[in-house]
Amino acid sequence: MRGTNPKLALSVTPVQNKTFYIRTYGCQMNESDSERIAGTLIDGGYSMVASADEADLVVLNTCSIREGAENKVYSDIGRLRLLQREAGATRTVAVAGCVAQQEGPALMARDRSVGLVFGSRAISRLPELIGRVEAGERVTAIDIHTRPDAPDSQVRGDPHRAWVTVMEGCDNHCAFCVVPATRGPEVSRHPDGVVAEVRELAERGYVEVTLLGQNVTSYGKNHGTDFADLLRRLHAIDGIRRIRYTTSHPKDFSDRLMDTLADCPKVARHLHLPLQSGSDRVLARMGRGYTYAAYRAKIERVRSLLPGLAITTDLIVGFPGETEADFSATLDAVREIGYFNLYGFKYSRRPGTLALTLDGHLDDDTRDQRLATLLAMQKATTLRHYQALVGSLVNVLVEGVSKRNTARLSGRLENGALAHFEGDPGWVGSFRQVRVTQASASALIGVAV
């Protein structure tokens, strides 16, 4: 899950002399959690500052999906420790998110500069936890079995596009994945709460919502409802013009949901459906619960219902035991489906996962080469998809103004592609028709009409 919303960059009038800074790593779920952390801290009398050096409290909202992401967190903690020493400051470092959840007590033991470790399900308790830290305690709050339903205060980073978390956690056990351990079991918010939140967002002028969850396609089980019903209810809300959702699991991507997508034109014609591998042998070892043929049949059905649908995916290369033939099956699948775009990852060993115990771990070079091959192949396909749009008129939600040239705007199409064009900065937050004139593999250039 990543990237169509801006990083949290907010400025708030100081109400007290306590300040905080949040650095967010990883997925959109973390971005959304950071907005809630900011909201809760501001309610507690803190004000937000633009850099870690100025802050009394630095929150690192971390990601542990792959080793690289986790290592980045440790090097940042080290850098903060140095800063602390040089400045002789009494800054509190708080570690939130998936590394906090995964490493909790170990993080505390490893670094005295860390005063608070808290998981995503403890955000609403922050005032109490911070109070204890201010009283001199070092606090760990990483229980994954609670979830407040009502969203806490949230300082949204964008006035037109909002993230709305609809569920948290995951009940699947994909062999490579730490998420079930870090985010806990699946719990959905009550649909009435989600509908009320989106209605309120629409009243405040939001035009796009992105529904977030580790597996939104299995939303609603604990409330006797499902994602299709939720989408229908949200689709009926006036003012909301575009609904996005991420991320989905192929085994839960049902006919009923596809039919609902076809009935709800405000739901963006973009489907992110992680395949992970094109080899049935690897899919079985990953514990994904579907075969490539079953996945492809779903893609065929949804494409027949929604012509022009842009489909993107996640793929892991170099999973333990992946042979050249397995990897070729992945390339064949990518070729056959013709993804609009994809996120490719090289398999990363994660603590406590089943994949660690499997045989056939591959060396770094093999994984690097396979990833490079996959990404090069996709780049050519994405370029073709983008080039096919040259000459056409597309509907763009204007997201921002270029920092270097205020007449240059950028925005996204329904399919998630980024477009740049000249226009009035006052257009930000509105939909514009843009004639596409040029395409690269990363963005479109156009002229507003």
- H-run or E-run covering 88: none
- H-run or E-run covering 10: none
Q: Which of 111, 280, 314, 424 binds ligand 5AD (CB under 6 A)?
A: 314
Give the pair of three-digit tokens for residue 103.
Answer: 């490493």
For residue 339, state whether it binds ligand 5AD (rule: CB under 6 A): no
Distances (CA, A) of 60 to 69, 151, 177: 12, 21, 21
For residue 274, state whether it binds ligand 5AD (rule: CB under 6 A): yes
First to last CA, the chain: 32
| CA–CA–CA angle 303, 391, 242 (5° rounding) | 50
Q: Is 311 helix (H, G, I), strand (E, B) or coil?
A: strand
Give the Cα separation of 383 and 6 in Å (integer).
24
Which residue's structure tokens are 């006036």?
238
Among ligand SF4, ligand 5AD, none, what binds residue 180 when CB lies within 5 to 8 Å by partner kind?
A: ligand SF4
For residue 276, state whether it binds ligand 5AD (rule: CB under 6 A): yes
- Contact (Cβ atoms closer than 8 angstroms) between residue 356 and residue 398: no
Give the Cα separation of 268 and 360 in Å (integer).
40
Q: What is the 3-state secondary structure (H, E, C) of 98-120?
A: HHHHHHHHHHHHHCCCEEEEECH
For residue 66, state whether it binds ligand 5AD (rule: CB under 6 A): yes
Judged by beta carbon, residue 259 or residue 314, the one nearer ligand 5AD is 314
Contacts with ligand 5AD by CB under 6 A: the residue count is 12
For residue 273, state whether it binds ligand 5AD (rule: CB under 6 A): no
Give the Cα separation of 302 and 313 in Å (integer).
15
- CB of 213: closest distance to ligand 5AD in angstroms? 13
Q: Which of residues 171-200 bind ligand 5AD (CB under 6 A)?
A: 176-177
For residue 215, state whether it binds ligand SF4 (rule: CB under 6 A): yes
Q: Is 355 helix (H, G, I), strand (E, B) or coil?
A: helix
Give the Cα separation of 144 and 150 in Å (integer).
17
Pattern 144-173, ligand SF4, x by CB under 6 A: --------------------------x-x-
Q: Which of 19, 28, 348, 378 binds ligand 5AD (CB under 6 A)?
A: 348
- CB of 427: closest distance to ligand 5AD in angstroms? 33
Among ligand SF4, ligand 5AD, none, what binds residue 214 when CB lies within 5 to 8 Å by partner kind?
A: ligand SF4
Q: Which of 129, 141, 306, 316 binds ligand 5AD (CB under 6 A)?
A: 316
Judged by beta carbon, residue 206 or residue 290, the one nearer ligand 5AD is 290
Which residue's structure tokens are 């800074």?
21
Q: Is 305 helix (H, G, I), strand (E, B) or coil?
A: helix
Judged by beta carbon, residue 175 or residue 413, the one nearer ligand SF4 is 175
Judged by beta carbon, residue 180 or residue 411, the one nearer ligand 5AD is 180
For residue 344, state whether it binds ligand SF4 (rule: CB under 6 A): no
Q: Which of 206, 219, 292, 345 binds ligand 5AD (CB under 6 A)?
A: 345
Distances (CA, A) of 269 to 243, 253, 340: 9, 15, 12
Give the pair of three-digit tokens for residue 364.
Answer: 């770094």
- DSSP for 36-59 reads HHHHHHHHTT-EE-SSGGG-SEEE
Pattern 222-251, ligand 5AD, x by CB under 6 A: ------------------------------
For residue 65, state whether it binds ligand 5AD (rule: CB under 6 A): yes
For residue 347, state whether it binds ligand 5AD (rule: CB under 6 A): yes
**Count of residues for the chain?**
449
- CB of 223: closest distance to ligand SF4 in angstroms? 20
- CB of 274: closest distance to ligand 5AD in angstroms? 4
For residue 273, state whether it binds ligand SF4 (rule: CB under 6 A): no
Stretch that binds ligand 5AD, among 135-143, 212-220, 346-354, 363-371 (CB under 6 A): 346-354
Percent helix, strand, coil in the chain, to 5, is 40, 20, 40
Give the single-character DSSP code of 340.
Answer: S
Q: Which of 180, 318, 411, 446 binds ligand SF4 (CB under 6 A)?
A: 180
Neighbours of 325 (CB within 10 A): 9
For residue 251, state whether it binds ligand SF4 (rule: CB under 6 A): no
Can you give the binding site for ligand 5AD, defined by CB under 6 A? 65-66, 176-177, 274, 276, 314, 316, 345, 347-348, 350
Can you give the binding site for ligand SF4, defined by CB under 6 A? 170, 172, 174, 177, 179-180, 214-215, 249
